[in-house]
Amino acid sequence: MVNLAELGAKLTAGRQPGQELSPCARAAIAGAVAAGASQTAVAKAFSTSRRAVQLSLQRFESSTTFETKPRTGRPELLTRREKRYILQLAKRYPRYSLQMLTGTLDTRISRSTSIFTDESSSRITRVAQ
């Protein structure tokens, strides 16, 4: 039989304080609690707080998954379609500035807005050369 402390140490090895638990660790936590271990003992074995154990169990009960939910974050300014359109314009007119290219859109874009990923911006520079 596997020792709970050994299992917890293996699954949370290299985890920084405050870092999110892995889906595998959450599954092991739920399994340990379902097997009869107390939440306090499981929290101690996995080197985490009792609240983290409670939240892992609540997450599984509500969504029946151990996967991490996507972060809300700030919505993107441009759609994929608009980004693709700007890329096409940049390829067609390599001497146009970014302001001229984005001027064709209805959306106002500031200079600090990142429009392209590293991959697409490198494609623009290769086309322009």
In the chain, the N- to C-terminal Cα span, in Å, equals 64
- Same domain? For 13 and 48 the reply is yes
- Same domain? For 9 and 58 the reply is yes
- Same domain? For 44 and 79 the reply is no
- The predicted structure's pLDDT at residue 68: 83
How far apart are alpha carbons 118 and 60 in whole angstroms?
Answer: 37
Domain carrying residue 113: 75-128
Is residue 111 over pLDDT 80? no
How far apart are alpha carbons 23 and 63 in whole angstroms?
Answer: 13
Higher pLDDT, 129 or 51: 51
- Same domain? For 12 and 59 the reply is yes
- The predicted structure's pLDDT at residue 15: 85
- The predicted structure's pLDDT at residue 31: 92
Length reported for the chain:
129
* C-alpha distances out from residue 28 to 15, 56, 120, 128, Å: 15, 10, 41, 53
How far apart are alpha carbons 115 and 78 in whole angstroms?
Answer: 7
Burial environment of residue 55 by CB neighbours within 10 A (0 to 12, 13 to 18, 19 or more): middle
Q: What is the pLDDT of residues 73-105, one digit of tens each?
A: 888 777 888 888 878 888 888 888 777 777 777
- Count of domains in the chain? 2
Q: What is the pLDDT of residues 17-51, one digit of tens each?
A: 888 899 999 999 999 999 999 999 999 999 899 99
Q: Are 24 and 44 in contact (CB under 8 A)?
A: no
Domain ends where: 63, 85, 110?
A: 63
Residues in Cβ contact with 60 at an 8 Å cutoff, skipping those fewer than 6 apart? 26, 30, 66
Average pLDDT of the residues of the chain: 80
